[in-house]
Amino acid sequence: MNRPQPPAGTRLFDVRLVIGGLFTLYGLMITGAGIAASDRDLDKAQGININLWAGLGMLALGLGFLLWLRLRPAVPPSPAERE
């Protein structure tokens, strides 16, 4: 990278961290609600344990974003920019 002025994107934190973190947390909360689902919850959702499935899906999405961030991290700021 021999740009004179690194673009602001390298200074910005990565949005993948936010999406990954939030969805991992939401995934755990909603999967938990799915495991503890009452009969009323199941009846309301037409017999589908929707909290369990949605929670697992969100957990997978969140972990996927975190994995992507880990495998392909953003270009780190150049020393001059770090001050």
Partner 1 sequence: MPQLAEEQLAQGLRLPVNALDYAILIVYFLVVLGIGFAVRRSVRTSLDFFLSGRSLPAWVTGLAFVAANLGATEILGMAANGAQYGAYTVHWYWIGAIPAMVFLGLVMMPFYYGSKVRSVPEFLLHRFGPASHLLSSVIFAVASVLIAGVNLYAMAIVLQALLGWPQWVAIVVAAFFVLAYITLGGLSSAIYNEVLQFFVILAALIPMTVIGLKRVGGWGGLRHSLSARHGDDFLSAWGGTGIGHPNSLGANWLTIVLGLGFVLSFGYWTTNFAEVQRALSAKNLSAARRTPLIAAFPKMLIPMVVVLPGLIALVMEPALGRTGSGLSYNDAIPVLMRDLLPNGVLGLAVTGLLAAFMAGMAANVSSFNTVFTNDIWAAYVRRGRPDAYYLSTGRWVTAAGVLAGMGTAFIASSFSNIMNYLQTLFSFFNVPLFCVFIIGMFWRRATAAAGFWGLLSGTVAAMVNYFGLYRQGVLDIPSDQGANFVSAIVAFVVGGLVMVTVTLFTRPKPAASLVGLVYGTSSPGMQPPPEAGDDAWYRRPALLGWGAVLLAALCYVPFSL
Binding-site ranges for partner 1 (CB under 8 A): 7-13, 15, 18-19, 21-23, 25-26, 29-30, 33-34, 37, 40-42, 44-48, 50-51, 53-55, 57-58, 61
Task: State the nearest-atom distance from the C-beta of 20 to partner 1, in Å.
Answer: 10
Residue 23 and residue 17: Cα distance in Å, rounded?
Answer: 10
> In the bound complex, what is the minimum distance in angstroms from residue 15's beta carbon to partner 1?
5
Minimum distance from CB of 22 to partner 1 (Å)? 5
CA distance readout (Å), 81 to 2, 11, 55, 74, 78: 13, 8, 40, 15, 5
